[in-house]
């Protein structure tokens, strides 16, 4: 029996936020070590991903010129899931002129003194800009419920607020793409140990990371719940099997290419007054 060819749609979830019944979602159904979009040849996949990164640079250049859209890329995932590596591997060829990254940390005092979307809204992309969120407002529906700082009812309220906020952004010209980098607990162990074994990587290590690791299953459940509630038609989630860094970059680059292509990007019309203009 021929194996079904994998489709990106199989890894996208957009069943929430509408009047219709939500498609059920469970993160544990996805194998973190799978390589559904790989060729089976690692060197070849690496080359394909690198080629795609160059194509994305071209597309982003056109996107910057076109100025009709704004693009918000959300990267979520546990520690060591490869968010930094994705930014370098997939978006690293693009011009810093129109590509920006924000790494979201625990909120500061002035941030905690306002609603949790306040600081997020300040950083949304402008016309022609690509904004990459390294972590995001989704931390506000992961850490607080897992830590017991907010109730399940408050978490549900936040899901709805996030859906409203993201819908407004998309209605006003922002395209939102959300990736969950999905690694296994064993792969995280290997990567954390690598950091510990290499003193030049100790700056990436925080003792708190181990506390979150102790709550692995609880966090996986919190991710499942958040994706189930906020994977919407206007801002779907893509689940990226990410134990393999090469496959992770390959898959995300493919999604990004499709996102840009769907925009039917074009250079702006040139001003007709420029046509026969002579510079004297």
Does 65 bind its own copies (CB under 8 A)? Our answer is no
Site string for its own copies, 138-157 (x = CB under 8 A): -------------------x
The answer to whether 32 and 184 have CB atoms below 8 angstroms apart is: yes
Which of 70, 182, 191, 248: binder of its own copies (CB under 8 A)? 70
The answer to whether 256 and 90 have CB atoms below 8 angstroms apart is: yes
Which of 126, 190, 206, 210: binder of its own copies (CB under 8 A)? 126
Site string for its own copies, 216-255 (x = CB under 8 A): ----------------------------------------
Site string for its own copies, 100-119 (x = CB under 8 A): ----------x--xxxxxx-
Query: Looking at beta carbons only, is 24 or 151 nearer to its own copies?
Result: 151
Q: How many residues bind its own copies (CB under 8 A)?
A: 26
Which residues would be at the binding site for its own copies (CB under 8 A)? 70, 110, 113-118, 121-122, 124-128, 157, 161, 164-165, 167-169, 171-174
């Amino acid at each position: 029996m021929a194996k079904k060819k994998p489709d990106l749609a199989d890894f996208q979830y957009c069943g929430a936020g509408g009047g219709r019944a939500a498609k059920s979602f469970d993160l544990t159904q996805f194998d973190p070590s799978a390589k559904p979009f790989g060729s089976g040849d690692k060197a070849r996949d690496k080359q394909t991903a690198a080629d795609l990164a160059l194509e994305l640079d071209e597309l982003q250049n056109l996107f910057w010129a076109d100025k009709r859209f704004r693009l918000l890329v959300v990267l979520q995932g546990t520690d060591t899931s490869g968010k930094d590596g994705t930014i370098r591997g997939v978006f690293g060829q693009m011009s810093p002129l129109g590509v920006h990254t924000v790494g979201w940390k625990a909120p500061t005092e002035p941030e905690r003194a306002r609603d949790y979307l306040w600081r997020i809204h300040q950083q949304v992309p402008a016309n022609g800009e690509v904004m990459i969120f390294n972590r995001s407002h989704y931390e506000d529906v992961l850490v607080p419920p897992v830590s017991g700082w907010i109730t399940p009812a408050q978490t549900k309220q936040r899901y709805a607020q996030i859906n409203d906020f993201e819908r407004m952004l998309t209605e006003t010209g922002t395209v939102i793409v959300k990736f969950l980098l999905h690694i296994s607990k064993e792969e995280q162990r290997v990567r954390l140990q690598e950091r510990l074994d290499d003193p030049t990587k100790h700056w990436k290590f925080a003792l708190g990371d181990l506390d979150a690791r102790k709550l692995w299953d609880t966090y996986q459940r919190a991710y499942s719940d958040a994706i189930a509630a906020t994977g919407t038609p206007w801002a779907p989630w893509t689940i990226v099997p990410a134990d393999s860094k090469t496959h992770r970059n390959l898959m995300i680059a493919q999604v990004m290419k499709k996102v840009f292509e769907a925009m039917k990007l074009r250079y702006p019309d040139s001003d007709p007054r420029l046509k026969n203009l002579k510079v004297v």
